[in-house]
């Protein structure tokens, strides 16, 4: 799969996440938010965000199966692990939304924008985690920081990492920007770097490979 095709795949996942399910979620989200029905709101967001994240994980696994010599569909133990990760992601989303809006005083972001951001993070982070699990299954040793979209929000410190290949269990070090020196496992590493300036409209992803050439290594 070329990187352009990878970007197209992520676009399809985003379109699905932002499609009818998101519109229904957003409609109910706004209504529940207005009525202060936070328990129902949490359940709604948990289900939608976890499903979006799991779809992206499964897509990443299937794509990597083409060159990692693993089954296209994860075996049951791996599927259970992916499902658990998606549930944790959904719970994280719920906690963040509760912190942002749960006081009843509203938040800084328009709820419509916030839901779109959740969809974006769910797909990008789901991709990375699904790819990582596929690599673990295949015992792939390397990962590469790649561009999959044209530049949308220029970040020269992200661009400087393009093509950088490191051991799969190592972290990339951001060479510049507002979080220079911070370590991330991949682009859109929400846990290690929650600053949205690093991941909103980021056009990068990681791919895992069983081998690497010396010239590609970033040490």
Q: Are 78 and 133 in contact (CB under 8 A)?
A: yes
% pLDDT > 90, the chain: 36
Whole-number pLDDT of residue 213: 54
Higher pLDDT, 206 or 3: 206
Mean pLDDT of 164-190: 91
Q: Return d(Cα 121, Cα 79) in angstroms, integer.
A: 21
Which tens digits make up the pLDDT trace of 38-82? 677 778 888 889 999 999 999 999 989 988 989 999 999 999 999
Whole-number pLDDT of residue 212: 58
Whole-number pLDDT of residue 170: 93
Provide the pLDDT confidence category of residue 190 given band limits of 50, 70 and 90. Answer: confident
HEC sequence for 63-128: HHHHHHCCCCCCCHHHHHHHHHHHHHHHHHHHHHHHHHHCCCCCCCCCHHHHHHHHHHHHHHHHHH
Mean pLDDT of 13-31: 69
Q: Are 188 and 176 in contact (CB under 8 A)?
A: no
Whole-number pLDDT of residue 101: 65
Which residue, among 145, 168, 142, 141, has the nearest Cα to 158 in the 3D structure? 145
Domain extent listing, the chain: 3-216
Whole-number pLDDT of residue 11: 74
Which tens digits make up the pLDDT trace of 97-134? 777 666 555 556 677 777 778 888 888 889 989 999 99
């Amino acid at each position: 799969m070329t990187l352009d095709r990878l970007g197209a795949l992520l676009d399809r996942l985003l379109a699905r996440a932002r499609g009818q399910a998101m519109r229904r979620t957003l409609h109910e989200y706004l209504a529940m938010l207005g009525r202060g029905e936070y328990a129902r709101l949490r359940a709604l967001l948990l289900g939608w965000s976890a499903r979006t994240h799991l779809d992206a994980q499964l897509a990443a696994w299937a794509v990597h199966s083409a060159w990692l010599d693993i089954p296209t569909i994860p075996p049951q133990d791996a599927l259970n692990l992916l499902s658990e990760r998606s549930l944790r992601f959904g719970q994280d989303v719920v906690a963040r939304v509760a912190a942002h809006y749960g006081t009843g005083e509203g938040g800084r972001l328009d709820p419509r924008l916030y839901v779109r951001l959740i969809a974006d993070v769910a797909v990008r982070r789901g991709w990375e985690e699904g790819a990582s699990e596929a690599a673990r299954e295949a015992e792939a040793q390397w990962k590469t920081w790649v561009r999959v979209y044209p530049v949308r929000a220029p970040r020269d410190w992200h661009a400087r990492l393009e093509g950088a290949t490191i051991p799969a269990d190592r972290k990339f070090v951001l060479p510049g920007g507002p979080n220079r020196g911070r370590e991330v496992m991949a682009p859109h590493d929400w846990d290690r770097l929650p600053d949205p300036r690093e991941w909103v409209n980021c056009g990068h992803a990681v791919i895992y490979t069983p081998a690497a050439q010396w010239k590609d290594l970033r040490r």
